[in-house]
Structure 1
Amino acid sequence: MGRESASQGLSQALRELMAKHPGVEVHGPSLRIWFMWRGQRCRESLGLTPTRANIKHAAQQRAAVVHAVKVGTFDYGEWFPGSKHARGAKRLRNARLGEAAERYLELKSIDITTETERRYRHALDAVTESLGVDLLASTLTPEDVQLMRGELVATRQVATANHYLAVASGFFAWLKTNGYTDQDLAGAAERIRAEDAEPDPFTQEEFRQLIERGCLHPQDVAAVTLAVYTGLRPGELCGLAREDLDLERGCLTVRRSVTRRNELKVPKTKEGRDRVIWLLPPALEAARQLHDLSAELEPEVATVALTRHQSRTEILTPLISPTVQARQPLINRWFNPPSWHTKVTKLMKRAGVRHRRPYQTRHTFACWSLTAHGNLAFIAKQMGHKDYSMLVKVYARWIDSESQDEAERIWKEMKKMGATDLDPGTRRGPIS
């Protein structure tokens, strides 16, 4: 029964009053209201007979419901506990985005170091400021996240924007898991794939110029060589100690990283686990040289942060240290990423090599290894990736999938396992 036919039994005065309140209608013997919720028209009976006072009450209740839906505080189970819609509705926790971010960071900080927490806070501040710190988390939509993503792309470098989006993705997943939203927001925070983010490796000729013309001290030669032939992150390179080398076996172990604030922390690998890097001949020779150059340095007791609240103590001697080349007595014993960045920038300028971020030494190792048809799983493990999917995604154009040389290499290895060429004498003509 429609609103018009249902109200035919009402007096003229009540029909005129009903006309002033759209969204209120008569259904059978009682009043009901309708409103839009999650893109659907919902109708709920109030169990009130159609009188002047009840019509006004129904109009006021509908207005309150519409307002609650608009601001994101509407809970179907509280407004209409006996409704069939309430039984299927998930109750969402009401919280402002800024409040939820603080709660997330408070819980996340248990498992991360102080430096990582600082970077997380900076990223979350940028994300929530873009979206609106007072916005209710339950009202956030994928479209809002996409607009925020576009703002980050337009105002920040690709690497910075991608870091913010990675933090945002984890935050949005946490919001859904803990009942602050029922939207899949993490998927909308996709990281950026742009030309500027692609690897820009050194060529062999540029590397030679960097070593021969840019480096004036043996430590610089060895350190740059080790960076290029291991793919270590700058913080991991700066955090190497003499105690990490095993020159007899030809490997080193990555156990820590240096932050930009000169703090030692566990490396950026799953659960902070150590990883063994097997050294190519140039890297092994560079490690030997660095081991000799740092022989006169005294070991020290160092604290390595595991999380914000946990740490371990180690006896360490820096493998690459500013004190080896320093002229002044008061200087840091460890390089950190900014100071390493400054050094490599000077080396490139002196060598006449096109400027790149020092992180490109890591990309250089990956690109050279892939061009040489290295095993993907081995390269990924050397670089500290959990699997080789990252290599395929980032370095796809360095993975030559249609190479005659590669086909010949595969066949050569197959013959070692017993495969044989087809005897020309077994060739047959067409079947008649």
Structure 2
Amino acid sequence: MGKIVERPETGKLFFDFRYEGKRCREQTTLDSTPANRKKLESILKKIEAEITLGTFEYHRYFPNSPRAEEFTKQAEVQRAREAHDTPLFEVFSKDWLDEMKIQWRQSHITTVEGTLKNYLNPEFGEKEVGCITKQDILEFRASLAKVSTRKGNRLSASRINRIMTPLRMILSEAANRFEFSSPYHGIKSLKVPRTDVEPFGIDEVRQIIDTVRPDFRNYYIVRFFTGMRTGEIDGLQWDHVDFRRRQILVRQALVNGRLEYTKNDGSFRTIEMSQLVVDALTEQKKTTGKKDFVFCTRTGGPLNHNNVTKRVWYPLLRHLGLRKRRPYQTRHTAATLWLAAGENPEWIARQMGHTTTEMLFRVYSRYVPNLTRRDGSAFERLLITQFQNPELEPMEDTADEK
């Protein structure tokens, strides 16, 4: 229950009551006299009656109070929620995208813009964000599974998930702002089948390097023995090659023809160069050392990876009779060769730009036995030696005696 209180330092009266779970104290210019107190108590009773009836409007009694604006906005949000008076999806998604751009790379912004234009706005654009239901979302996702690509294939589960991600983010943000429950709650991403990596064997790597046209030999040596991504090596510039420390500083990548910062903190890394890589880059510097990019066109511009793949990479694999594989497999090859050589997994993860070794073991470890014979055969020899040959001395127990 509220009350009228005198402020000791001024002798003025003020209202003290609770509204919407908050304590509200509103100052008046009236002196603390019996008549003024009685007058304010009458007003307070009216306020409390309206609060009970749900008709109280804060700004009518205290128009100049900071609380008035706060409770007015809160009331408007509540009314919008009750009346489903929320902005259209197309309008809200545009505002959301403008707010998010500052934290995204341009390539990701372009991807999200394409997703909104081609998929989300045609489906949800004219609907209020507060009126989109869980059924709408599930029906939309089911319809994506029937969409065909330009090559006549169905959209993959991974592609569908990437289309759905902005929708989830938009609806979640709208739900927070307009105080309704997000219809996306409880909808899980589609399960994406695991895909095997297809690294090249060491003999295949040697074949490729020995056979590739001379102007791309250094390029593929660096790709195979640094684990750099396509965008990273195509965007590599000479000021990021440190011959003295034998390091490549990965700070940027070439994405859709423009240089951008690496996509995450793990990708921002330093790669230690082997002697083979040092030699290849030393040789390359004789050709492109006066240009910005390490590997570039005759005019000094960055390579077009699609052009290189179609005109150099795939023809080379066909010529050698090797199975067709994407150039990205050079990165997977580097990981398996490092593992095969017995390098520290944490060091390998840092070279690859992984924040942990989890992906390293999950994706690549099955290739190690084929290269190093660390496939249980050493353990098998131990058991044979210790349990099937009684003439040999047993192994000493190195554990501390208790």
> With structure 2 as the length reference, what TM-score do the two structures score?
0.61
Give 1:346's aligned amino acid. P
Q: Distance in 2 between matches of 1:167 and 1:395?
A: 31
Q: Which amino acid aligns with 1:206?
A: E
Q: What is the Cα deviation at residue 225 of structure 1? A: 1.8
State the distance in 2 between where 1:353 and 1:149 align.
38
> What is the match of residue 352 of structure 2?
383
Matched, 1:216 2:189: no
Q: Which residue of 2 aligns with 1:322?
A: 297
Q: Confirm or deny: 8 A CA contact 2:130 2:175 kept in the other structure.
A: no
Q: 2:282 aligns with which of 282, 285, 288?
A: 288
Aligned counterparts of 2:144 and 2:200: Cα–Cα separation in 1: 29
Matched, 1:336 2:334: no
Q: Provide the rounded CA distance (Å) in 2 between the counterparts of 1:406 and 1:150.
A: 51
Identify which of structures 1 and 2 has the higher relative contact order when contacts are C-alpha pairs closer than 8 Å and 6+ apart.
Answer: 1
Code of the aligned partner of 2:99? L
Runs of 4+ in 1 over 6 A off after TM superposition: 89-93, 405-408
- Please give the residue correspondences for 1:21-420 in structure 2 after superposition, counting only pairs within 5 Å: 78=79, 94-129=86-121, 131-141=123-133, 144-152=136-144, 155-157=154-156, 160-161=159-160, 163-179=162-178, 181-183=180-182, 185=184, 188=187, 190=189, 192-195=191-194, 197-213=195-211, 215-217=212-214, 219-260=215-256, 262-270=257-265, 274-295=268-289, 297-298=290-291, 317-323=292-298, 331=299, 333-342=301-310, 343-370=312-339, 372=341, 374-391=343-360, 394-395=363-364, 397-398=366-367, 403-404=375-376
The letter for the 2-side match of 1:266 is Y
CA displacement 1:300-358 (0-9 Å, x = unmatched): xxxxxxxxxxxxxxxxx2100121xxxxxxx4621133334333233323333222222
Letter in 2 for 1:259: V
Three-state SS of the structure 2 residue aligned to 1:277 is strand
Q: Which digits, 9 at most, give the CA deviation of each residue in 1:183-229, with x for residues without a partner?
A: 3737636265225x43222233332332223x111x41211121122
Name the CA distance, whole Å, in 2 between partners of 1:344 and 1:246: 28
More displaced 10-residue stretch of structure 1: 283-292 or 230-239: 283-292
**1:360/1:250 CA distance change after superposition, 3 Å:** same
Alpha-carbon separation, structure 2, partners of 1:385 and 1:341: 25
Q: Residue type matched to 1:322 in 2?
A: T
The worse-fitting range, judged by mean Cα deviation, of 148-157 and 285-294 is 148-157
Deviations 1:81-113 (A, max 9, x none): xxxxxxxx9998723332232122111112234
CA contact (8 A) 1:131 1:145 kept: no
Cα deviations by residue, 1:362-401 (Å, 9 ceiling, x for unpaired): 232234444555444333322223334444555575577x
Residues 280, 149 of structure 1: alpha-carbon distance in 2 compared, 3 angstrom cutoff: farther
Distance 1:90 1:200 in 2: 55
The corresponding residue for 2:37 is none
What is the CA-CA distance between 1:157 and the residue it aligns to?
4.8
Partner of 1:423: 396
Q: How far apart are the structure 2 equivalents of 1:125 and 1:404?
A: 54
Specify the alignment match of 2:39 in structure 1. Answer: none
Aligned length: 301
In structure 1, what is the Cα distance between the partners aligned to 2:82 and 2:251?
Answer: 45
C-alpha separation in 2, matches of 1:387 and 1:379: 10
